[in-house]
């Protein structure tokens, strides 16, 4: 597979129309159609379901779209790393992060670092820990901000100072809204929204104890903004961290007994980084 053809494929997938994609790529429609058919032949799969006016990706097409985007991102990142001048320090630093109050700490480090090296820029990808680790393993992300529990046995890391406090996010008209803290018994008959990660679910199961088997899980989520929207619309109460963010007509109530978790900034051991990424890691280490 050629990178050029993968870029053509991504444009077709985005536009869902060969003619529109061909115009944007400045190639003829027959040429682009032939390239896509040759790509299908090369891979031995059908990538598109072709209709009269638009095309839709098959399951194999969706997989290739994901892989092709990862390949293009990695190629672009590599090109940036090798196109830098020696001075001043420049280039991109890719950061993966979960939703945590320690993003305040990392944001300040990023801002301070750019005061010293203004030619450096950051690319921030927000996701759960499992997605961030996958991107680190593929070389797409340089460092990750992880909320524990997380398996970082293959990583070097710095533990961050702020502990994350668990609680529930409820509507203002919820019977729980008048409480200063909630117990497992309080949540026994409440539909709950919990995080998707298995390690997080295990952590919550330990906090609930035997009651966990009787807990009603209404939905799982990976980002708190969507969870807050579901809470607002009556799906249930979301078990999450306190992010010091206010939501209209929603209230965060801490758990009792208290449940806290830490956060770490981590990167792959023995990884060869760009000069910008290596300098940023050293900066974090030396300014803790």
pLDDT at 78: 78
The percentage of the chain sitting over the pLDDT mark of 70, rounded to a whole number, equals 97
If you count DSSP H runs as helices and E runs as strands, how many of each does the chain have, helices first?
9, 13
Residues 149, 171 share a domain:
no
Domain encompassing residue 248: 164-259
3-state per-residue secondary structure call for 3-49 = HHHHHHHHHHHHHCCHHHHHHHHCCCHHHHHHHHHHHHHHHCCCCEE
pTM summary value: 0.68
Q: In the predicted model, is pLDDT for residue 86 greater than 60?
A: no
Residues 277, 142 share a domain:
yes
Rounded average pLDDT over 266-271: 89
- Give dist(CA 120, CA 208) in Å, integer: 45
- Binned at pLDDT 50, 70 and 90, residue 81 comes out as low
Residues 168, 282 share a domain:
no
Query: HSE on the CB side for 146, CA within 13 Å?
Result: 30
Q: What's phi and psi for 178, nearest 5 deg?
A: -85, -5
- Residue showing tokens 């966990």: 212
Residues 103, 51 share a domain:
no
Residues 247, 115 share a domain:
no
Least confident of 88-92, 234-238, 280-284: 88-92
Task: Identify which has the larger pLDDT, 178 or 247.
Answer: 178
CA distances from 154 to 52, 129, 137, 268, 282 (A): 50, 14, 10, 6, 19
Task: Identify which has the larger pLDDT, 101 or 118.
Answer: 118
Q: Retrieve residue 27's tokens.
A: 């190639």
């Amino acid at each position: 597979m050629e990178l050029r053809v993968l870029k053509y494929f991504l444009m077709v997938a985005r536009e869902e129309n060969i003619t529109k994609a061909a115009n944007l790529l400045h190639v003829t429609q027959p040429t682009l159609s032939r390239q896509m058919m040759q790509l299908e032949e090369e891979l031995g799969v059908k990538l598109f379901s072709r209709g009269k006016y638009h095309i839709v990706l098959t399951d194999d097409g969706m997989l290739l779209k994901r892989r092709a985007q990862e390949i293009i991102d990695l190629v672009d990142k590599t090109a940036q790393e090798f196109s830098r001048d020696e001075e001043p320090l420049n280039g991109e630093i890719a950061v993966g992060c979960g939703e945590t109050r320690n993003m305040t700490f990392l944001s300040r480090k990023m801002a301070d670092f750019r005061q010293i090296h203004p030619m450096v820029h950051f690319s921030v990808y927000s996701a759960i820990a499992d997605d961030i680790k996958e991107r680190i393993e593929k070389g797409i992300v340089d460092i990750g901000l992880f909320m524990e529990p997380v398996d970082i046995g293959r990583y070097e890391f710095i533990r961050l100072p702020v502990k994350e406090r668990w609680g529930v996010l409820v509507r203002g008209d919820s019977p729980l809204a008048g409480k200063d803290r909630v117990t497992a018994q309080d949540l026994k008959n409440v539909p709950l929204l919990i995080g998707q990660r298995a390690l997080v679910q295990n952590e919550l199961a330990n906090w609930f104890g035997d009651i966990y088997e009787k807990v009603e899980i209404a939905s799982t989520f990976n980002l708190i903004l969507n969870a807050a929207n579901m809470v607002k619309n009556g799906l249930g109460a979301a078990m999450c961290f306190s992010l010091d963010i206010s939501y209209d007509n929603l209230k965060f109530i801490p758990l009792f007994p208290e449940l806290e978790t830490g956060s770490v900034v981590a990167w792959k051991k023995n990884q060869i980084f760009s000069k910008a990424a290596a300098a940023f890691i050293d900066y974090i280490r030396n300014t803790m």
